[in-house]
Homo-oligomer: A and B are copies of this chain.
Amino acid sequence: MLGNPPRDRKAERRAGTRAEILAAAWALAHEQGLSGISLRDLGARVGMRAQSLYSYFDSKFAIYDAMFAEGNALLLERTSSLPSPRDPDAGLRAGARVFFTFCVEDPARYQLLFQRTIPGFEPSAESYAIAGKVLEAATARLHAAGITTDRGRDLWTALLNGFADQQIANDPGGDRWGRLLDDAIDMFLAHLRGPGGQY
């Protein structure tokens, strides 16, 4: 087949190594905490000296930034691959459950994406854009369920965030808040559709 795009083996190998470095960085974050990642250790994981990592990433923050983008891309993929059910409430519930599970299954990732406690680190505009799409998707599910105000969205995010936070902080590995989530969504929906609503 003439006309096949030529494969750039060099670029492929480079991308592969970058992915390998990121995977090792996640593993380190799980074991030592997010701020416990050192370039020494990270290099050792992939069989390099710390200095050689600079061939793949410009700085340590660039690695955090790639992790931030990767995490958000995964969340976006999970939420957008959800089926669109007839019942918009069911869609809302499914999205909430996906988000909650995503947060709880990896506290280090949760810290990087949502708590942002690394001094000096700010995600790049490109990475941040992915996070924006995640929020867009959530807003769309809220709209489908008839919740269109800023107040409604802010209440929703506070609720979900609070659940994830408490589960991670006070019952890691457990289900103490997870099993209350559906009930909390009932509460939320009833309130927003109830009388005297300001929504």
| A contact set with B: CB distance below 8 Å | 32-36, 111, 114-117, 119, 151, 154-155, 157-163, 165-166, 169, 176-177, 180, 183-184, 186-188, 190-191, 194, 198
- With contact pairs A158-B163, A180-B155, A184-B158 given, residues A117 and B117 touching in the complex (Cβ less than 8 Å): yes
14 A-B pairs, CB-CB below 8 angstroms? A32-B119, A33-B119, A35-B117, A154-B166, A155-B183, A155-B184, A158-B159, A158-B162, A158-B165, A158-B177, A161-B162, A162-B162, A183-B198, A187-B188
How far does the alpha carbon of A115 sit from the alpha carbon of B191 in the complex, in Å? Answer: 29
B165 with A151: CB separation less than 8 A = no
Asked if B35 and A119 sit within 8 Å, CB to CB, the answer is yes
Whether the pair B166, A151 counts as a contact (CB closer than 8 A) is no
Q: Are A161 and B151 in contact (CB under 8 A)?
A: no
A187 touches B191 (CB 8 A): yes
Contact B151 A158, beta carbon cutoff 8 Å: no
- Say yes or no: A166 contacts B158, CB within 8 Å: yes
Q: How far is the CB of A71 from the nearest CB of chain B, in Å?
A: 16
User: What residues on B are CB-neighbors of A111 within 8 Å?
Assistant: 117
- Can you name the residue of chain B whose Cβ is closest to the Cβ of A34? B117
Please give 13 more A-B residue pairs, beta carbons under 8 A apart, in addition to A158-B165, A162-B163: A33-B117, A157-B162, A157-B166, A158-B166, A158-B184, A161-B166, A162-B165, A186-B191, A187-B187, A187-B188, A187-B191, A190-B194, A191-B191
Enumerate chain B residues within 8 angstroms of A119, measured Cβ to Cβ.
Answer: 32-33, 35-36
**Chain B residues positioned under 8 Å from A198 (CB to CB):** 183
